[in-house]
Amino acid sequence: MRRNGLLCLLLMMFVLAAGCGGGSKADVSIFMIGSNGIPNEAGEKLQASLQSEIGESASVQVLAAPIFSMEKLIVEIAAGQNGILMIPENHFKAMGEQGGYVPLDDVAKAEDFPEGVLEVTEDGKKQKHLYGIPMDQTKWFTELEFDGKNLFAFIPANAPDKEKAKQVMKIIAEK
């Protein structure tokens, strides 16, 4: 019985999350969730800065979660509406071992971000690629004086437009 209740709760959360955010659709949506949450004002400041760097080639929307919730993180990943996710390092590495991330080898150099290199098994073969960008090493966060320690950006395999997400990630990955 308890298992059915948990399943119903997760289903309700998914339905509610899918119905939220009916605003304009950005080309690339970025969802950020930190271990201690991320204030909405920080998300707005990061969005304005990133949009000015990108120009008119793509529109971005940065959504910040003010508190950490594993359930919210799971819903955001499952919904498949985000081009880029920024999550705590421990979750990035634990979930990355299961695969489901887009390799970023054509976006940035693995030697520039060795912490973002993971070895995963896909199709029965071990593969080692750059999958995440540590935010504390990016110009975007340091110039705005944000602490990106233990926060990693990646592109999930279910991203709506992987190529546009890679374009934005290339700007994020600048040192």
Residue 86: the pLDDT is 97
Domain presence at residue 19: no
**pLDDT higher at 152 or 2:** 152
Residue 113 inside a domain? The answer is yes
Enter the pTM of the model.
0.84
Residue 78 class from Cβ within 10 Å (0-12 exposed, 13-18 middle, 19+ buried)?
middle
- Indicate the SS3 state at residue 76: helix
Residue 84 lies in a domain: yes
- Confidence (pLDDT) at 15: 43
Give residue 24's pLDDT band: very low, low, confident or very high (50, 70, 90).
Answer: low
CATH number at residue 144: 3.40.190.10
Residue 115 located in a structural domain: yes
Mean pLDDT value across residues 161-172: 96
In-domain check, residue 97: yes
**Predicted pLDDT at 37:** 92
Residue 143 lies in a domain: yes
Give per-residue pLDDT as tens, 49-78: 999 999 888 899 999 999 999 999 999 999
Q: Which domain holds residue 74?
A: 25-172
Number of structural domains found in the chain: 1
Is 65 part of any domain? yes
Least-confidence region, from 89-93, 98-102, 128-132, 167-171? 98-102
Phi-psi region of 55 (alpha: psi -120 to 50; beta: other; left: phi over 0): left
Residue 10: inside a domain: no
Q: What pLDDT, on the 0 to 100 scale, is given for residue 9?
A: 47
Q: Centre a 10 Å sphere on the Cβ of residue 135 and count the other Cβ atoms it contains.
A: 24
List beta partners, residue 156: 101
Rounded CA separation 164/28 (Å): 7
Distance CA 64, CA 101 (A): 20
